[in-house]
């Protein structure tokens, strides 16, 4: 007898990290239309745990939702109004911190060649990382990689011509080129399994630091707003252009610590694939978009710069913790944190 297939209920709701995320979490356990705070305190930390978790909760309703949460919350007017206030604080902070406006060409030049003195997490993991460092890195990054390429798909209907065709070509590879077992999110789940981690979508949200939530929320912010389509293309370019050398170092590090072949394979796959994607994104996605919408030049640069700023901030957190021989993860709420 065949067991009937069960619907995926989505991940469990995480634990709150302050008043704002507590209010959102409490509302999501009730029917849509439940009152929410009318506005966000202007003094709220735009990169803090509380605000970033609240934004993550709002955004995840557009992905897989949460177990036991009414799917109608996705478009609840009260929650959208609150989200808009959060996004205003977040986007304003990003524009201030990403650096002065510049052209896409200038922003691309800054990431095409790695500085000789670059010392990011992938360098640390390649040369001196231990297995527990790799497990923490994968747990944090699972918030992104288990939905890898999903937020970028939102830009496809907002592009035309050469930019759209090239974007679809790259996304086709990201989604496994028609083979479910080759979907990059699936390959990352295989990596996690090879490291002895739980592969369930959203499992490590409670362990992820605010810097990781910021990095993930960034691409959802860009993806959900047509007005930020240029920034989303910039984000995509930054990811694809910087991925190949970092992936090579991570694969080498995993081999050095004797990780399972599935763990090594995820990054080894990205070394070649993203080197090809880099050329397509620069020449055809960005080039094609600027042909049709030259006014988006600075938006593309903003997307690149904001991505680099957020990733550098996350990298600084990881390295500070690891060099002090302590965990980079948040204490689990069950431990009394």
- Same structural domain, 128 and 176: yes
Q: Is the pLDDT of residue 9 over 90?
A: no
Residue pLDDT, tens place only, 71-109: 999 999 999 999 999 999 999 999 999 999 999 999 999
Domain count of the fold of the chain: 2
Domain span holding position 306: 102-335
Residue pLDDT, tens place only, 115-154: 756 789 999 999 999 999 999 999 999 999 999 999 999 9
Name the CA dihedral angle for 225, 52, 328, 258, rounded to a multiple of 10 degrees. Answer: -30
Q: How far is CA 55 from CA 14, 24, 80, 81, 199, in A?
A: 13, 9, 10, 12, 23
Q: Is the pLDDT of residue 337 over 50?
A: no
| Pair 274, 244: CB distance under 8 Å | yes
Which segment of 15-24, 61-70, 133-142, 238-247 scores lowest on mean pLDDT? 238-247
Single pTM value for the model = 0.94
Q: Is the dihedral of CA 242, 247, 253, 257 positive or negative?
A: positive
- Same structural domain, 291 and 236: yes
Q: Give the whole-angstrom CA distance, residue 250 versus residue 244.
A: 10
Characterise 18 by phi-psi region: left (phi > 0), alpha (psi -120 to 50), beta (else).
left
Select from 239, 219, 148 the least CA-distant residue to 185.
148
Q: Round the average pLDDT of the chain to a whole number and report it.
A: 94
- Same structural domain, 61 and 81: yes
pLDDT for the residue numbered 333: 75
Write out the two tokens for 253. 């590090």
Q: Is the pLDDT of residue 191 over 90?
A: yes
Select from 121, 144, 245, 240 the least CA-distant residue to 191.
144
pLDDT for the residue numbered 105: 96
For the residues 28-38, what does the mean pLDDT come to?
Answer: 94
pLDDT for the residue numbered 116: 55
Q: Is the pLDDT of residue 197 over 90?
A: yes
CATH of the domain at 235: 1.20.910.10
Which strand (E) or helix (H) includes residue 144? helix 131-145
| Pair 213, 143: CB distance under 8 Å | yes
Residues 6+ apart with CB under 8 A from 249: 122, 123, 125, 126
- Same structural domain, 187 and 61: no
Does residue 173 fall inside a structural domain? yes
Determine what percent of the chain is predicted with pLDDT higher than 90.
Answer: 85
Does residue 287 fall inside a structural domain? yes
- Same structural domain, 73 and 128: no
Distance of CA 122 to the CA centre of its chain: 17
Fill in the DSSP letter of residue 5: P
Q: Is the pLDDT of residue 1 over 60?
A: no
Q: Is the pLDDT of residue 300 over 90?
A: yes
- Same structural domain, 71 and 85: yes
- Same structural domain, 216 and 73: no
- Same structural domain, 53 and 163: no
- Same structural domain, 179 and 328: yes
Select the more confidently predicted residue: 241 or 293.
Answer: 293
Q: Give the whole-angstrom CA distance, residue 297 versus residue 290.
A: 7
| Pair 213, 140: CB distance under 8 Å | no
- Same structural domain, 157 and 24: no
Does residue 1 fall inside a structural domain? no
Question: Model confidence at 269, in pLDDT bands (50, 70, 90)?
Answer: confident
Q: Give the whole-angstrom CA distance, residue 212 versus residue 205.
A: 9
Distance of CA 111 to the CA centre of its chain: 18
């Amino acid at each position: 007898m065949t067991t009937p297939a069960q619907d995926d209920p989505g991940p469990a709701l995480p634990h709150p990290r302050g008043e704002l995320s507590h209010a959102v979490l409490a509302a999501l356990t009730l029917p849509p239309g439940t009152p929410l705070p009318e506005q966000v305190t202007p003094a709220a930390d735009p990169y803090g745990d509380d605000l970033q978790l609240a934004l993550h909760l709002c955004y995840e309703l557009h992905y897989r939702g949460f177990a036991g949460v009414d799917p109608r919350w996705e478009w609840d007017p009260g929650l959208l109004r609150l989200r808009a206030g959060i996004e205003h604080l977040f986007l304003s902070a990003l524009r201030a911190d990403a650096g002065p406006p510049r052209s896409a060409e200038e922003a691309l030049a800054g990431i095409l060649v790695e500085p000789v003195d670059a010392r990011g997490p992938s360098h640390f993991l390649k040369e001196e990382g231990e297995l527990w460092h790799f497990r923490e890195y994968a747990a944090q990054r699972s918030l992104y990689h288990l939905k890898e390429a999903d937020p970028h798909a939102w830009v496809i209907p907002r592009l035309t011509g050469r930019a759209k065709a090239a974007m679809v070509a790259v996304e086709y590879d990201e989604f496994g080129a028609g083979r479910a077992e080759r979907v990059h999110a699936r390959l990352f789940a295989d990596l996690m399994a090879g490291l002895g981690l739980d592969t369930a979508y959203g499992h490590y949200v409670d362990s992820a630091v605010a810097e990781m939530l910021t990095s993930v929320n960034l691409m959802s912010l860009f993806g959900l707003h047509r007005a930020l389509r240029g920034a989303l293309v910039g984000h995509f370019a930054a990811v694809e252009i910087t991925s190949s050398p970092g992936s090579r170092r991570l694969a080498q590090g995993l081999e050095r610590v004797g990780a399972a072949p599935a763990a090594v394979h995820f990054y080894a796959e990205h070394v070649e694939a993203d080197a090809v994607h880099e050329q397509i994104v620069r020449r055809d996605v960005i080039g094609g978009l600027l042909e049709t919408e030259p006014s988006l030049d600075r938006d593309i640069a903003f997307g690149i710069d904001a991505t680099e700023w957020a990733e550098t901030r996350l990298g600084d957190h990881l390295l500070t913790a690891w060099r002090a021989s302590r965990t980079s993860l948040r204490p689990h709420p069950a431990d009394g944190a």
